Structure 1
Amino acid sequence: MEILDTVSLKPYNTFGIEQYARHFTKAASVEELKEALLWAKKKEQPTLIIGGGSNILLTGDYNGLVIKNELQGYQVVSDDDDFVTIKVAAGEIWHQFVLHCLKHQYAGVENLALIPGCVGASPMQNIGAYGVEIKEVFCELTAVHRLDHTTKVFSKEECSFGYRESVFKNSYKDQFVITDVTYRLQKKPVFHIEYGAIRQELDRLNVTELSINAIAQAVINIRSSKLPDPAEIGNAGSFFKNPSVEQSQYLSLKKAWPDMMAYENADGTMKLAAGWLIEHAGLKGYRKGDAGIHEKQALVLVNYGNASGRELLEVCNLVTDTVFRKYGVQLHPEVNVI
């Protein structure tokens, strides 16, 4: 393990924000991860764990040790006629894992194609898209405690999954480092094409026989058309969660804005489309200096070049304030502000 001093984090966050880590290292094994955590404990340094850097907004230099999780590898835990269970190292790129599943015809994650980031972030965020969430294929995960360096296995129930939430964003926030995640995938697929955008794209592709590959391609096409490539323009994908409101508030909003988009949750509340709220608040395409809101997708904050994290945070606050004043609905960032 090599500890470097004063390292730029620009290559390690998809916003392309130029901030510095006081100390920086990469962990390619659980042993190196524990060694780095022990070093930080001895030096009384806080730690920040990063994977793909696709879900963070850096608003200042990090005065501690940044550890880049580079754990790699796949392991088939069990395999029968109906299911395959695979343990995946946390540093693996999420989309590469999806492609691996498509290659072997393992179903369950095709709707989650092209989501940026690493495998370790998937349960932390309970990532989801187009009617599917990671909790539906999640089996268990392994994590290392940051202070005593013990290893713990978390079951699905212990993760307390919610909408873009888990125990690791709440009561266990900053207490554990996820080292691997185990998924249970289907060999006899159940297709999820409830979202109109997927149906339309499948029709456009002239798909006559459904398959997980066709659905994944449709999702890839949709995401590519709506979301900017971080290699071309700095962003972290969808910046805000879709807010949920009570039926009574939704009916009141629907009366004022008849074309407002919403989906009913299992608990009877209504999930509003944050992108619709932002766009109809007049903020789509907003720009101040190099910080702004994408012209094609109002959910996405973008760095047009040399925006600072604080400038992007100002745009975030403008969005939340404007949406609340207009609709009485509070938006919350999906991205972790650091």
Structure 2
Amino acid sequence: MFVEQNVPLQPYNSFGIVARAHTLVRVRDEADVQAVLADPQLGPGRKFVLGGGSNIVLTGDVKPVVLKVEIPGRRLLEETPRAWIVEAGAGENWHDFVAWTLEQGYPGLENLSLIPGTVGAAPVQNVGAYGVELQDRFESLDAIDLETGRSFTLDAAQCAFGYRDSVFKHESARPGGYGLAGKALITRVRFRLPRPWKPVLGYLELERRMADDGNRAPSAQQIHDWICAIRRAKLPDPRVTGNAGSFFKNPTVTPEQCSDIIAREPNIVHYPMPDGTVKLAAGWLIDACGWKGKSVGHAGVYEKQALVLVNRGGATGGEVVTLAKAIQTSVYERFGIRLEPEPVVV
């Protein structure tokens, strides 16, 4: 167990916000977690699990013990006629893991290429992009209870996946409840990649790429390359411009609500969903309210994609939160829709 004091967290959050951890422990295997929980000084206090830091907004120094997850490992567990089962340590970089699966000949995660963060954080957020969500490829995960030290395994149903949501984002509503926010540290995640592989190509940007390249039957590697190019063209690199990716969830409304909005805003971007609801493009709503390129202090709205909030240099977490709330107010006043943030405010 490697314990550090007064650690700068700016390198460990993709927004690049200046903050410090009073105590930080680098978790490189399950034994490190057990050692923290057994320690008379570290064990009793609150814990904050930190993965890639790509989905948080720090509003000050972090007083709980920060458990920086760095558990490595990638391997094929099983190969059957119907699937490849692959496993990764929670500390693995998500995009690097996706690229590795393709290099090994295990397609299925290519639509989730270039999403920032770690493997262990991906189930928490139920990451998704271009028609695929993590839950579509999920097998199971291992985690450690941060109160008891007990190791346990969850399947997809137990993770209670939703749109950018899971059991790890909710606190227990009652004693003995199953909300795991702040109560568990994911150590390993397993994925079921279906065989035979079938491409997921339903998004307009992918259709355009196929048309431009004259390739109507792309390989998984080609889809990976297209998605990387698309994301790089419209999203800022957090190594250059601090950001947390898409800041707000795309809201869903009833067909009747959508029709009402279309009557007033005929150009609104919307997508019918399988359950009968309609998903609206949050970025379009924000842009329509005039926020693209605007700033509050040193926090701003990205010029190429209104769904992304950025650190223009020296932004505080408070400025990011103030900007986000102002955007929420504008969208609600114009459209009657409440935007829900994706990142966790700490």
Give the TM-score, by structure 1 length.
0.97
Any gaps of 5 or more consecutive residues in structure 1?
A: none
Question: How far, CA to CA, are the matches of 2:138 and 2:129 in structure 1?
Answer: 15
Q: Does 1:175 align with 2:183?
A: yes
Contact preservation (8 Å) 2:36, 2:43: no
Question: How far, CA to CA, are the matches of 1:45 and 1:35 in structure 2?
Answer: 14
Q: Which residue does 2:140 correspond to in 1? A: 140
Question: Matched residue pairs, number?
Answer: 338
Q: Does 1:64 align with 2:72?
A: no
Structural mapping, 1:8-27, within 5 Å: 8-27=8-27
Question: How far, CA to CA, are the matches of 2:196 and 2:228 in structure 1?
Answer: 22
Q: Write the deviation string for residues 256-313 of structure 1: whole angstroms up to 9, x where unpaired.
A: 0111111122221111000000001100111133210100000100001101000111
The worse-fitting range, judged by mean Cα deviation, of 281-290 and 42-51 is 42-51
Contact preservation (8 Å) 2:37, 2:44: no
Structural mapping, 1:224-243, within 5 Å: 224-243=232-251
Q: Which residue does 1:325 correspond to in 2? A: 333
Q: Supply the RMSD in Å over aligned alpha carbons.
A: 1.3
Give the counterpart of 2:312 among 304, 307, 322: 304
Q: CA offset at residue 63 of structure 1?
A: 1.1
Contact preservation (8 Å) 1:51, 1:120: yes
Structural mapping, 1:201-240, within 5 Å: 201-240=209-248
* Fraction of identical pairs, as percent: 39
Q: Secondary structure at the match of 1:123?
A: helix
Question: How far, CA to CA, are the matches of 2:9 and 2:222 in structure 1?
Answer: 37
Q: Which residue does 1:162 correspond to in 2? A: 162
The worse-fitting range, judged by mean Cα deviation, of 319-328 and 2-11 is 2-11
Q: Write the deviation string for residues 204-247 of structure 1: whole angstroms up to 9, x where unpaired.
A: 34435311011111110110001000111100100100001111
Q: CA offset at residue 201 of structure 1?
A: 2.0
Any gaps of 5 or more consecutive residues in structure 2?
A: 171-178
Q: Which residue does 2:118 correspond to in 1? A: 118
Q: Which residue does 2:208 correspond to in 1? A: 200
Aligned CA distance change for structure 1 residues 42 and 67 (closer, same or farther; 3 Å): closer
Aligned CA distance change for structure 1 residues 40 and 95 (closer, same or farther; 3 Å): farther
Q: CA offset at residue 40 of structure 1?
A: 7.4
Give the TM-score, by structure 2 length.
0.95
Question: How far, CA to CA, are the matches of 2:66 and 2:248 in structure 1?
Answer: 25
Q: Secondary structure at the match of 2:64?
A: strand
Q: Which residue does 2:36 correspond to in 1? A: 36
Contact preservation (8 Å) 1:16, 1:303: yes
The worse-fitting range, judged by mean Cα deviation, of 216-225 and 206-215 is 206-215
